[in-house]
Amino acid sequence: MVLGSTSHSGTHDEHTNVMIMRKKTSSRALAASVRDTIVSPRRWALSAQSARVVAYSLGIEAVALVLTGYLLATTPPRVGAVVMLGVLIAMAVLQAELNRQVERTRRRVSGMAHINMTSVWIFAGVLLLPAAFAAVLTMVLYLHLALRSWYRLHRVPAWRTISNTSILVMTCYASKSVLVGTGVEDIHVAIARGWAGAAAVVAALLTHFVVNAILVLPARARPGRTLTELFGGWADNGLEVATLCLAVLNALALATLPGLALLVLPPLLILQRAALVKQLEQAAIRDDKTGLLNTTGWHELAERTLIEAEQVRATFGLLMIDLDHFKRINDTYGHLAGDTVLRKVADTITSAVRGHNDAVGRFGGEEFVVLLPDVATQHDVGAIAERIRHAITTLAVDVGEQPAVQTITGLSASIGAAMYPSAGTAVQRLIDAADTALYHAKANGRNRIVHIADLA
C-alpha cells in the first residue's frame, strides 16, 4: 500500500510538472507572438487594409493624439473640471457594467460603426468639460469597453477600436468648436443665455452627429453606394439622435441638480435593450457568413415583390448563381479560405447589381440568388447576369496569413435566369425555373448563363 501510494504520488507530480511546463511554454509562445506583432507592422491587422484605409486611420490617430496632447498641456487643470470628468467616467462605467452583456451582443450584430451608445456620456462631456478633458473621457470609455465588452469580439481588431476612438475624439473637437464659436463655452453659459444658449447646444449636437457620420466613412473598407449603406437606416440614426438628446439632459442635470443625473440610467438601459431587439430582428434574416439575406429574409422580400408586381402588372427577374468547382477550393486551401471566397463573391455580386432595390441572398453552400425588380425584358436580366459572371471571373482573393498568403484566381459561376410572370406566377415556381436553367448551365460547360425561356 505504501509503495502504491508513493508511485501514484510520483506519477501525479510528474503530470503536474508536465502541465506546468506546458503552461510556461504556452505563455512564452503567447508573449513572443505579442512581441513579434508589436514590433512588426506587417503583422498588424491594419496592414491587410487598403492603402486608403491605412493612411486615413494612421493620419486621424496622429492628429487626435497630437491635438489632445497640446490641449492638455495648455488647459488649466481646474478642480471642478477634474471632478466632473471623474463623475462622467464613473457613471459611464456603471452603465456599461450594468448592460455589458447586452452591449457585447449588440455590437456583435451591429453593422454601423458610427452608432455609439457612449454618446450619452461623451457629448455630455463636450457640454460640461474643456475640449481636452472630453477627449480624455472618450479614450477612457473606449478603453474600458475594449477591455470589458469588445475583447470577445474577435471580428473587431485593435486598429478598428483605436481608429473609432480617434474619430470620436475629433468629433468632440468639432462640436466643441461650434459651442465656443457661438460664445457658449459650456452648458452653464448656455443656461444663462436662454434660447440663444439652447440654439448653440442644438447646433453642437447636429455637428456632433454629422461630423461623426462623415469621419467614419473613409475608415471603412467599403463605405457603400446608397445613403443607407453610407449612413445607416432611420432606426440606426434615430438611436444616435436619442443618445445625443439624453446627453443634453444628462449635462443639464449634472450642471443644476447632479443627483438627477442618475435618472438617465434607466431609460438608457431600456434604449440599449430596444436597440438590441431591433438588431437581432435584422440578424435573423441575414446570413452570418456573408451578410447577405438568408433564405428566410430573401423569400419574405420576394413574396412582397411578387404581390406588388401583381398589383401593377409589372415584371421582375430572378437569378440563381452557383460557384463552379467550389469544393476544390475547400479541399485545396481549407474551409476558412472557402469562407473568405464566399464573402468576396457576395460583395462582388452586390456591387454588380443595380443598387439597393436588387436583393442578393445566399441559399446555403456556394449558391446565391438575386431578385431583380422592375426589369422589362429577358435582355435586361441577361445583361445584369453577365456583369455578375464577368466580375466573378476577375476576382483575386487573398487567403491565409502573412507570410504565407496565397491568391485564389480562376473563379467562375454558372447562372440560371427566369422572369415573372412568363416562368411562373409564384416565388417557388420562379426559383425552380431558375434552378433548372442553372442545371443546364452547369451541364453544358459551366461559367455561362442560361435563361429558362431559351429551354422552352
3-state secondary structure 308-338: HHHHHCCCEEEEEEEECCHHHHHHHHCHHHH
**pLDDT band at residue 327 using 50, 70 and 90 as cut-offs:** very high
Say if residue 239's pLDDT is above 90.
no
| Residue predicted with more confidence, 55 or 281 | 55
Q: How many CA atoms lie within 13 A of 415 on its CB side?
A: 26
Please report the pLDDT score of residue 289 as a whole number: 86
| Residue predicted with more confidence, 289 or 227 | 289
Say if residue 316's pLDDT is above 70.
yes
Please report the pLDDT score of residue 37 as a whole number: 41
Q: Mark which of 283, 313, 336 sits at the end of a domain.
A: 283
Q: Residue 290 domain-assigned?
A: no
Over residues 92-101, the mean pLDDT reads 79
> Quick one: which H or E segment has residue 246?
helix 234-256
Q: Residue 289 domain-assigned?
A: no
**Dihedral of CA 338/339/340/346: which sign?**
positive
SS3 label, residue 420: strand
386 and 244 assigned to the same domain = no
Say if residue 342's pLDDT is above 70.
yes
Is-contact 252 86, C-beta < 8 A? no
Instruction: For cell 493620419, name the residue.
Output: 59
- Which residues span the domain enclosing 276? 46-283
28 and 53 assigned to the same domain = no
**Residue 23 buriedness (CB in 10 A; 0-12 / 13-18 / 19+):** exposed
Please report the pLDDT score of residue 1 as a whole number: 32
Say if residue 348's pLDDT is above 60.
yes
139 and 254 assigned to the same domain = yes
Q: In what order do the strands lie in the sheet with 449-451?
A: 359-362, 367-373, 316-323, 413-420, 449-451
Q: Mark which of 250, 283, 316 sits at the end of a domain.
A: 283
27 and 76 assigned to the same domain = no
Length of the chain: 456
Please report the pLDDT score of residue 404 as a whole number: 75
Is-contact 170 64, C-beta < 8 A? yes
Q: Residue 373 domain-assigned?
A: yes
Over residues 105-109, the mean pLDDT reads 58
113 and 134 assigned to the same domain = yes
Say if residue 40's pLDDT is above 50.
no
Q: Residue 225 domain-assigned?
A: yes
Say if residue 43's pLDDT is above 60.
no
- What one-character DSSP code corresponds to residue 216? T
Q: Mark which of 283, 318, 349 sits at the end of a domain.
A: 283
pTM above 0.75, yes or no: no
When the pLDDT of each residue in the chain is averaged and rounded to a whole number, the result is 82
Q: Residue 312 domain-assigned?
A: yes
State pLDDT tens for residues 188-223.
Answer: 999 999 999 999 999 999 999 999 889 888 876 665
5 and 115 assigned to the same domain = no
SS3 label, residue 80: helix
137 and 276 assigned to the same domain = yes
251 and 355 assigned to the same domain = no
Instruction: Kindly report which listed range (73-87, 266-280, 333-347) carries the lowest average pLDDT score.
Output: 266-280
Q: Residue 17 domain-assigned?
A: yes
The CA distance from 446 to 456, in Å, is: 20
Q: Which three cell numbers stand for residue 49?
A: 487594409
State pLDDT tens for residues 250-290.
Answer: 999 999 998 888 888 888 777 777 666 666 666 677 888 88
252 and 387 assigned to the same domain = no
| Residue predicted with more confidence, 358 or 159 | 358
Q: Which of 361, 392, 368 is nearest to 320 (CA)?
A: 368
What's the number of domains the chain is made of?
3
251 and 400 assigned to the same domain = no
Q: Residue 288 domain-assigned?
A: no
The CA distance from 371 to 379, in Å, is: 15
248 and 374 assigned to the same domain = no
131 and 264 assigned to the same domain = yes
| Residue predicted with more confidence, 286 or 362 | 362
- Residue 315: which residues within 8 A CB-CB, separation 6 or more? 309, 374, 375, 376, 419, 420, 421
**CATH number, residue 321:** 3.30.70.270
User: How many other C-beta atoms can be found within 10 angstroms of the C-beta atom of residue 444?
Assistant: 10
CA angle 292–296–298, rounded 5-degree value? 50
Please report the pLDDT score of residue 44 as a whole number: 55
Q: Residue 166 domain-assigned?
A: yes
**pLDDT band at residue 346 using 50, 70 and 90 as cut-offs:** very high
**pLDDT band at residue 109 using 50, 70 and 90 as cut-offs:** low
Over residues 146-160, the mean pLDDT reads 62
**pLDDT band at residue 353 using 50, 70 and 90 as cut-offs:** very high
